[in-house]
Structure 1
């Protein structure tokens, strides 16, 4: 059996990070997780930490702010995966410096796990949400650190549970707002499936210094298709209200930050088409579902069944 890379996961007590650690262990990678001191006392995180330890993960105390613990952790592994929350992406700067200094890392997978920040068409209106990720990419590339960027677009836990209806918690059963013309497609992937694709990619030479895009068939839907699928599941037609792109832009400008971020993402995805306007192959990226056809994943239709 080929030797499996030793993997360090930062952010393992988060939803995605926990799945990444579990899949890493299940795929026989010696798995290390960096845990803050405070997390050991956090009742919301204790069960996850215990579960990972029982499964075989090596627990390391430390944080992205603690240079010494970070260096000691990085020196023990071949691959580093970071899955910290979006608002903290710039906290990876010290980690990048440490990876460069350690000189032993064969692959770094930074915290992205969304739309491709270099291909979004909403610069200037997203409060630097994507430019911060691009800044981290440029830093990694400038340091010559081997990388894989994972672009899974949207997690199924975001916007899909309300059928892309800001302000709602569950899908509508009477009337629905459709943004744009309703034909532009977005991509939703379940976080556990994102973790499975990520772990499959970390030792794969095809994904070295590449962007891995996840657009699984069955997970790429327009708003019209989402509504139609939901209507067929509840056996009822919904009243449709169409909001053109210009009207959505007006709503974004009139809504203060950060309350307008949901509307900005909807504009990016379902008006500008930031998930799907470009071809993966000609962009120089890799298609996760073509590379790993054996991986099973939850489709949008299957997820909508859980919301009935």
Structure 2
């Protein structure tokens, strides 16, 4: 067995997306530990529509490579000089990673590949193989299972514990609150299940830190899934922390039972509702499928240094309040 490869030069795909921003920022914050080049591969459209963000990355020393992620020639050329690829592409384009893996396996420079796994565990148990939102990521794992040269790591974080739109600590609004909500403005919560089921969450800031830690621990992270998180809490415990940080008064509370959530999910898929996948994921989380006998934080030196329920709720309140101010 070959030794685990130490990362020096990193090429990032999806760097300006929802989770990509946090992962890229964490890598840049720790750039000195890699002692090489850091670059992003992005589309011509992103170069135009997110020019301020691109300029900010350039100012931090990031190399910008424009190109088409579906072009073998463009990707193959971009790989030159980079030993590690970190993919942060979003769910709608997960399948594009199949080409990225194929080319990385053949390229003489690329040694490590981090696919866009951040989120729900797609290999939690036997039932995972049939879950509709998992299908493209399962194809990516199958492709990596066939490689012989390329080393890989799956960073599995569970749901994001943040207050940004549609995330677990977000406000869903009255029309969508049955899918779960922690609404700071209305002091209204709809808890999934009976409120007592534990769920493991990872803030997006911690996702970035955990990816960096995996990059810095090549032997421990090689060719495996790292199941990591920030904290574990019940919906009732999360609500109690929101109440404590918003003045101590009780919020208005309702519940969406697991059976009700399953019915909402079935209806959404039957209508080809874009929200159907999100409801499936919430049903998975509410069923306890973010829980493990032990997490892998300690393998990569991150048993400490991750966020707590208190800090995650504090940031979620800030995010929701800022959105209200903008409106």
Normalised by the length of structure 2, the TM-score is 0.80
Q: 1:20 corresponds to which residue?
A: 23
Map of 1:35-74 to 2, 5 A cutoff?
A: 35-42=42-49, 45-74=50-79
Provide the secondary structure at the position in 2 that maps to 1:273. Answer: coil
**Structure 1 residues 169, 287: closer, same or farther in 2, change over 3 A?**
closer
Among 256, 277, 289, the alignment partner of 1:261 is 277
C-alpha RMSD over aligned residues: 2.7
Structure 1 stretch displaced more, 154-163 or 80-89: 154-163
> Partners in 2 of 1:120 and 1:49 — Cα distance?
40
Q: CA deviation at 1:269?
A: 0.7
Provide the secondary structure at the position in 1 that maps to 2:155. Answer: strand
> Partners in 2 of 1:56 and 1:77 — Cα distance?
16
Q: CA deviation at 1:4?
A: 5.3
> Partners in 1 of 2:207 and 2:44 — Cα distance?
27
Provide the secondary structure at the position in 2 that maps to 1:19. Answer: helix
The 8 Å contact of residues 113 and 150 in structure 1, kept in 2 or not, is answered as: yes
> Partners in 2 of 1:88 and 1:180 — Cα distance?
31
Q: CA deviation at 1:100?
A: 1.0
**Structure 1 residues 131, 292: closer, same or farther in 2, change over 3 A?**
same
Q: 2:290 corresponds to which residue?
A: 275
Q: 1:249 corresponds to which residue?
A: 262
> Partners in 1 of 2:316 and 2:188 — Cα distance?
17
The 8 Å contact of residues 156 and 226 in structure 2, kept in 1 or not, is answered as: yes
Map of 1:115-154 to 2, 5 A cutoff?
A: 115-119=120-124, 123=128, 126=131, 128-144=132-148, 145-154=150-159
The 8 Å contact of residues 149 and 210 in structure 1, kept in 2 or not, is answered as: yes
Structure 1 stretch displaced more, 261-270 or 141-150: 261-270
Structure 1 residues not aligned, in runs of 5+: none
**Structure 1 residues 245, 18: closer, same or farther in 2, change over 3 A?**
closer
Among 163, 169, 194, the alignment partner of 1:160 is 169
Q: 2:12 corresponds to which residue?
A: 9
- After superposition, the C-alpha distances for 1:108-127 in whole angstroms (9 at most, x for unaligned) are 1001110111116765875x
**Structure 1 residues 174, 10: closer, same or farther in 2, change over 3 A?**
closer
Structure 1 stretch displaced more, 99-108 or 89-98: 99-108
Q: 1:300 corresponds to which residue?
A: 312
> Partners in 2 of 1:124 and 1:250 — Cα distance?
21
Q: 2:227 corresponds to which residue?
A: 213
Structure 2 residues not aligned, in runs of 5+: 1-5, 322-327
Q: CA deviation at 1:176?
A: 3.4
The 8 Å contact of residues 108 and 147 in structure 1, kept in 2 or not, is answered as: yes
The 8 Å contact of residues 214 and 289 in structure 1, kept in 2 or not, is answered as: no
Q: CA deviation at 1:238?
A: 3.2
> Partners in 2 of 1:260 and 1:172 — Cα distance?
26
Q: Please state if 1:291 is matched with 2:301.
A: yes
**Structure 1 residues 8, 173: closer, same or farther in 2, change over 3 A?**
same
The 8 Å contact of residues 82 and 111 in structure 1, kept in 2 or not, is answered as: yes
Structure 1 stretch displaced more, 80-89 or 237-246: 237-246
The 8 Å contact of residues 192 and 255 in structure 2, kept in 1 or not, is answered as: yes
Q: 2:245 corresponds to which residue?
A: 233
**Structure 1 residues 294, 253: closer, same or farther in 2, change over 3 A?**
closer
The 8 Å contact of residues 213 and 301 in structure 2, kept in 1 or not, is answered as: no
Aligned length: 295
> Partners in 1 of 2:129 and 2:137 — Cα distance?
14
Q: CA deviation at 1:32?
A: 1.4
